[in-house]
Amino acid sequence: MSADTCDTQHRGHSLLPFSTAIQQLVAAAKPLSADAEAIPLAHALGSVLAEPIMMTRAEPPTRRSAMDGWAVCSCDGSNDRKVCGAVYAGTSVIPSVGAGETVAVMTGGVVPDGADTVIPVEHTERKGDVVSFSQEPQAGRHVRQLGEMGDAGRVLLEAGRVLSSADLSAAAGCGADPVFVAARPRVIVMSTGDEVVPWATEPEPHQVRDSNRLGSIAQLIAAGADVIDHLHVPDDPEALRAAVESALGRADLLVTIGGVSMGDKDHLPSTFEACGVAKLFHGVSVQPGKPVWAGHLGEKFVLGLPGNPVSSFVMLETLAVPLLQRMMGGQAQMRPYQAGILGAPARAKKRERFLPADLKINSLGQLVITPRPEQGSGDWTSLAGADALLHVSAGLTLAAGEMAECLTISGATHLGVSGEVPNESV
C-alpha cells in the first residue's frame, strides 16, 4: 500500500474521520442499567454522581469572622473599646459585645451578639484592656453572614457530574459521605500476541513485555472503570474466541490489545464478529491508532486497540474515556482540549495526530506544550514522563510559538486514592 493510501484507507475502505468515530461510539452507548452504589467520598474522584449533592444546613450556620481582629458594634463609631473576651475558631461559648466593648475574634470564630463588624488587627492598637482603631467601623464588614453561601437544600453538584478534586472538597463541606455514584463499568483487559510475555519477566530477544496491559489498566481505572480481570491470550483463533466469549459474559467493556491490523495473525476482527459483536468501525483517520476496532453486543462494548504502545495509549485516552463516562451517565461527548503554546514544530498529514508531549509553564505563566521527538507508535519510551498528548488536526503544520491544544494525561494521583493496579498474574 502506498504511503498516501495508507493515510486514507484501511482494508480497502475509506477511513472514518476520528471525531465521527468518537461520536458514533458515544451515541451507541447508554448509561448502565446497574444501580448506583454508595462509595466512600475519598474514593470518588473521577466517578460520576448518580444523585445530586446538596447543602444540609445554611452555610455558614452562624455569623463568622473573615479576619483576625476585634468585633465591635459600628454604632459606637471609632471610639476606644474595652476588651471583654476572646473568640477563636472553634470557641463554642460566645460572650456578647455591649456598648463600648469589644471581643477579640479570629478568622472563622463566631461573631458575638451585639457586634456587627470586625476591625482587622492591623488597624487597631491595644493598650492593656483598651483597644483603639485607625479604621472607622462599618456595619457588616469582614463578617461572613449567616447563610451567605447558601441554605440547606442548595444543590452544589448535579447528577451526571464527573467528580473532580474541587468537587470532592465541596462535597466534603456538605458531609456527603458516602456518596452515590453511577455503577462503574466492569472492564476486562486482554492483551494478545505470541510474542507478548509478562512484564515482570526477562524476555527473549524475539519477545516483548506486556507493557500495554498494565498501562491500559491504569488508564481505565483513572477513567472510572472497575477493572475486574486482565489476561493474555496467544494469537490462536480458538483461544481468542473462548476468551472473548467469556469476557463478554462478565464485563460491560472488553478492551483488547493487538491483533486488529492487517497481519496474518490478526484474528480479532473476525473473532469479534463470530461472537456476535456488531461492528461500529474498523479503521479511523487518526495517527497513531488507525487500525482500532469498535463494536457492541447489546449494551456491552468492545474496543480492539492496536498493539503498538503509543497507539493503544492514545486510543484509550480518546475513545475509552468518553465511552466510560457515557456508560456512567455522564454528559461529556468529547474530552476538552487544553490550549497552550507549541514548544517545538509539529505537523499532521492526512490523519489527525496525537503526540506524547511535555508541559511546562514559561516565564509569562503560559502553558507550553512540547511534543517529544518523533519516534513512532511502537516506541513505548516516549510515554515515560509524558504529561499530555498534543493534538494536531489533519493537514496542519504548526511552528514553535503557535497556539496548540492537548489532552492532559491524568491518573497517577487518582490511582493512589481509588484503585489498585492489579499485580501481574500471568
Residue with grid cell 492496536, as numbered in its chain: 306
Residue nearest ligand AMP (C-beta atom): 307
Count of residues in contact with ligand AMP, rule CB under 6 A: 19
211: contact with ligand AMP by CB under 6 A? yes
Choose which of 40, 77, 175, 263 interacts with ligand AMP (CB under 6 A): 263
308: contact with ligand AMP by CB under 6 A? yes
67: contact with ligand AMP by CB under 6 A? no
Minimum gap (Å) between residue 209 Cβ and ligand AMP: 6
Cα–Cα distance between 362 and 414 in angstroms, integer? Answer: 27
Query: Could you tell me the three cell numbers for 161?
Result: 457530574
- Asked whether the beta carbons of 194 and 74 are under 8 A apart, the reply is no
Sign of the Cα pseudo-torsion (45, 48, 50, 52, in order): positive
288: contact with ligand AMP by CB under 6 A? no
Judged by CB, which is closer to ligand AMP: 48, or 214?
214
Judged by CB, which is closer to ligand AMP: 133, or 380?
380
269: contact with ligand AMP by CB under 6 A? no
Minimum gap (Å) between residue 384 Cβ and Mg ion: 23
Nearest to 189 by CA among 226, 159, 148: 226
Minimum gap (Å) between residue 312 Cβ and ligand AMP: 7
Which of these segments, 8-16, 98-106, 141-149, 187-195, binds ligand AMP (CB under 6 A)? 187-195
Minimum gap (Å) between residue 268 Cβ and ligand AMP: 9
Minimum gap (Å) between residue 307 Cβ and Mg ion: 5
Which of these segments, 9-17, 134-142, 258-266, 357-365, binds ligand AMP (CB under 6 A)? 258-266
Residue 418 binds which of Mg ion, ligand AMP, none (CB < 5-8 A, kind-dependent): none
Minimum gap (Å) between residue 260 Cβ and Mg ion: 9
Minimum gap (Å) between residue 380 Cβ and Mg ion: 15
Q: Are strands 9-10 and 293-297 parallel, antiparallel or unpaired?
A: unpaired
- Asked whether the beta carbons of 383 and 216 are under 8 A apart, the reply is no
Which of these segments, 57-65, 166-174, 189-197, 248-256, binds ligand AMP (CB under 6 A)? 189-197
Query: Could you tell me the three cell numbers for 152?
Result: 440547606
111: contact with ligand AMP by CB under 6 A? no
Residue with grid cell 461472537, as numbered in its chain: 275
Minimum gap (Å) between residue 259 Cβ and Mg ion: 5
258: contact with ligand AMP by CB under 6 A? yes
198: contact with ligand AMP by CB under 6 A? no
CB atoms within 10 A of CB 141: 17
Residue 213 binds which of Mg ion, ligand AMP, none (CB < 5-8 A, kind-dependent): ligand AMP
Which of these segments, 34-42, 64-72, 301-309, 341-349, binds ligand AMP (CB under 6 A)? 301-309
188 phi, psi to nearest 5 deg? -115, 135
Cα–Cα distance between 298 and 144 in angstroms, integer? Answer: 54
Burial class (CB in 10 A: 0-12, 13-18, 19+), 425: exposed
391: contact with ligand AMP by CB under 6 A? no
User: Binding residues for ligand AMP, per CB under 6 A?
Assistant: 191, 193, 195-196, 208, 210-213, 257-259, 261, 263, 306-309, 378
